[in-house]
Chains A and B, each alone.
Chain A
Amino acid sequence: MTTLIRFLSRNKPLVGLVVLMAAVAVLSPSFMTVDNLLNILRQTSINAVIAVGMTYVILSGGIDLSVGSVLAFCGAVCAWLVAGDLSIWLAIPLTLLLGAGLGAVNGVVIGTGGVQPFVATLVAMTMLRGATLVFTDGRPITTGTGAAADAFWSVGGGYLLGIPVPVVVAAVVFAICGLILTRTRFGRYTYAVGGNEVVARLSGIRVNLEKTTIYALSGLLAALAGVILTARLKVRSRPPAPGTSWTPSPPSWSAAPACPAARAPCSARWSAPSSSAC
């Protein structure tokens, strides 16, 4: 009993979630359906993937405001690569690499450059938002109807053993990054850098390298979220199949408080052939 209470007091957000779910389940009979829950998970997966990277950043004592813009820019680039009928086995890794590179630049500016994380990533956010606008010319990019586009569609709308692919991706990201955080040297160092940078340095940790890696990871995961979102938007351009419960609301990441850039109007527009879809 006491262990249960201790568990609950340590996991207050979980308690809140359960209460909220119970309340909504009572209020709406369609909430507790497999279709709806899967749909919620699918929508949340984009936020969740970004949150994993942000967890590392915050644990290291920083903040990454640029995730929304990285998502937008990388999403646009990915859509463009797929439109060029590049295999998704190349297009997606290239996009992730781009995100990691953008994040690494943040990390170098923050670590070696000594710029406050808030300022550095705010600048990156604004610059990438502009870059996205220039890259897309302010117009939607369509992924076309080639073989690559079809494969890309399956990333956003496909299923693996009955579970939406974005949900599977998010779960895998959670598992891997959770293990890295708790079981490896890199994870320990992440905590140490956030706990006390001076102590970390005097313990022989290359703090700047750690920060670069951490922000690169955040950028990579933001890019991954961008890939998922783009693949989902492609889906949304098709008429909803009967029986599926598409929510007309904008993608959930736009409400994420940690990424104000996600509200950038250009970020949601590039791959939807008809802008009314957004």
Chain B
Amino acid sequence: MDPQSGFLLDLKGVGKGFNGVTVLDGVDFRLRGGEIMALIGENGAGKSTLMRIITGIVQPDSASAMMFRGQSVRFTAPRQAIDAGIAMIHQELNLLPHLSVADNIWLGREPRNRLGLIDRGRMRREAKALLERLRQTIDPDRAVGSLSVGQQQMVEIARALSLNAELIIMDEPTDALTDVETAVLFEVIRALKADGKGIVYISHRLGEIFALCDSVTVLRDGHMVHRGAVADLDEAALIRHMVGRSITDQYPYLPCPAGPERLAVEGVSADGVTDVSFTAAGGEILGFAGLMGAGRTELGKAIFGASRLRAGSVRVDGTEVRLRHPRDGVAAGIAYVPEDRKAEGLIQGHSIRTNMSLAALKQLCGPAGVVRQTDERTAVDRFMAAFAVKAHGIGAEVRTLSGGNQQKISLAKALMLSPKVVILDEPTRGVDVGARREIYGLINDLKAKGLCILLMSSDMPELLGLSDRILVMAGGRITGRFARDEATQEKIMACAIA
């Protein structure tokens, strides 16, 4: 702690550019020990570059002052930042799944006994003590891969504590956590705060920031545009700072005349789904609410043919569909846009073109299965323009794109099939505020074209904002049905925990 200023970390005038593009321009960033500082901004605002500078992964081009614990620092390697007491918990956890909890916590710093061998007893004891500080009863001998994501997060935090870190940076830590796990994490973070640790909390979820953080720093296009106490702000003000304009109508509802019934699901049971029945019409957005593990994703996959139907029937435009494989869903005009783009939606190392056309390739092939490349390119180009995808070209690898652009590709891939029913599973997860609105616009366009849309989302305002009707799921069953004008967050939550 700096005795004069009282700041744990104090950066002034940090600038950084890559290939002539300025990413950070004169950014100030500071926090005290015992303070939880939210860092927010749209994708590309410079948050991760700033954190990479703090953790020594990259060096700033210019900085008028960089102070940590009262000393001027200039880290040239991550090791130096770690030794100084800065730990970062990355969004993608850096744990070795096949090693035990204790092994992971002490990786690279294993305590030795007098013979120079690893002192397993001590490793286990100290790991246990660290986890107890976090109120966790995880067995230190368990393989990390067998833990839930929330528990793995706790192991990462324990590792940060074992480093005696004074400053802990968390990047979207709740993205993969259940509500219960999130509550535990918040408790832990507050305990760390009480111990006088400084916390930097990066998140897209504004609700969490109001619930947890003391103060907030907002970055936009490489500039620090706001810093202040969270208590002085409301959500609208925060969004205004982030996007530089006020998004008055964040969830644009599009009223459409209800079309004929397009999808009828009757008594469907599958893995994680029990006896679900509903119908949905063309030009309708049917929302599905529920907590994590309520069975929404499983229902979506069952209707699409990706998981086995144990009972029940699915009809599209009055015709019963036999679903044994995703290709049956595709053939029946059902498109599924998965929740997890990386694992299920897009092949990350392949180009935009081959990803987008993959599902619809049959329609783009001539006799003998030869791909009509010109037709393919035309179709892909059309979607690139219509969806305003920002990329170097259709040959660009998908993994180089931002979350919002990847989601657009994922959507385009589904729409290339000219589907009748579109199942959207968490369509805005990991997508920043600006791109979200674009995606809502695209969803409304589909609605206007008479498609039937099933929208599964954990983002309650999004669901309430866009849906015509909302079904609530819990434990694999439908526990509530609401029309648009009678649905409220409270009523939905009451059904979701039923």
Contacts and interface: CB of A to CB of B under 8 A. Distances in A.
A188 B330 contact: no
A195 interface: yes
A202 B370 contact: no
B330 A204 contact: yes
Interface in A173-228: 183-186, 188-189, 191-192, 195-196, 198-206
B370 A183 contact: yes
Interface in B290-308: 304, 306
Interface in B302-343: 304, 306, 325-327, 329-331, 336, 338, 343
B347 A199 contact: yes
B369 A184 contact: yes
A183, A184, A188, A198 — most chain B CB neighbours (10 Å):
A188
Contacts of A183: 370-371, 373
Given A195-B350, A198-B343, A199-B346, A188 B327 contact: no
A205 B336 CA distance: 14
A201 B326 CA distance: 7
B354 interface: yes
Q: Which 9 A-B pairs have the closest CB atoms?
A: A195-B347, A204-B327, A204-B330, A203-B359, A185-B369, A184-B369, A196-B347, A203-B358, A204-B326
A203 B336 CA distance: 9
A195 B331 CA distance: 23
B135 interface: no
A22 B327 CA distance: 53
B349 interface: yes
Contacts of B369: 184-186
Given A185-B361, A204-B359, A206-B327, A192 B371 contact: no
A205 B344 CA distance: 13
Interface string B354-395: 100011011001001111010000000000000000000000
A203 B365 CA distance: 16
Given A202-B338, A203-B326, A188 B361 contact: yes
Given A188-B361, A195-B350, A202-B345, 5 more contacts: A184-B370, A191-B350, A200-B347, A203-B413, A204-B330
Given A202-B336, A202-B338, A205-B327, A188 B358 contact: yes
Contacts, number: 70
Interface size class, chain A: 10 to 19
A112 to B, nearest CB: 13
A195 B371 contact: no
Give the bracket for the number of chain B residues in contact with chain A. Answer: 20 to 34
7 contacts: A186-B369, A196-B343, A198-B343, A201-B326, A202-B304, A203-B359, A204-B325
B371 A188 contact: yes
Contacts of A200: 347, 358
Contact of A206 (B325, B343, B413): B325
Contacts of A188: 354, 358, 361, 371
A185 B327 contact: no
B182 interface: no
A191 B361 CA distance: 13
Contact of B354 (A191, A202, A204): A191
B250 interface: no
B277 interface: no
A28 to B, nearest CB: 43
Contacts of A191: 350, 354
A99 to B, nearest CB: 22
Given A188-B354, A188-B361, A196-B348, A202 B371 contact: no
Contacts of A204: 325-327, 329-331, 359
A192 B358 contact: yes
A196 B331 CA distance: 21
Contacts of A198: 343-344
A35 to B, nearest CB: 40
A192 B348 CA distance: 11
Contacts of B331: 204
Contacts of A195: 347-350
Contacts of A202: 304, 306, 326, 336, 338, 344-345
B347 to A, nearest CB: 4
A185 B347 contact: no
B394 to A, nearest CB: 15
Contacts of B329: 204
A186 B349 CA distance: 19
Given A195-B347, A199-B346, A204-B330, A184 B368 contact: yes
Nearest to A194: B347
B365 A185 contact: yes
A147 to B, nearest CB: 36
A202 B359 CA distance: 8
A204 B326 CA distance: 5
Nearest to B327: A204
Given A185-B362, A195-B347, A206-B325, A201 B306 contact: yes
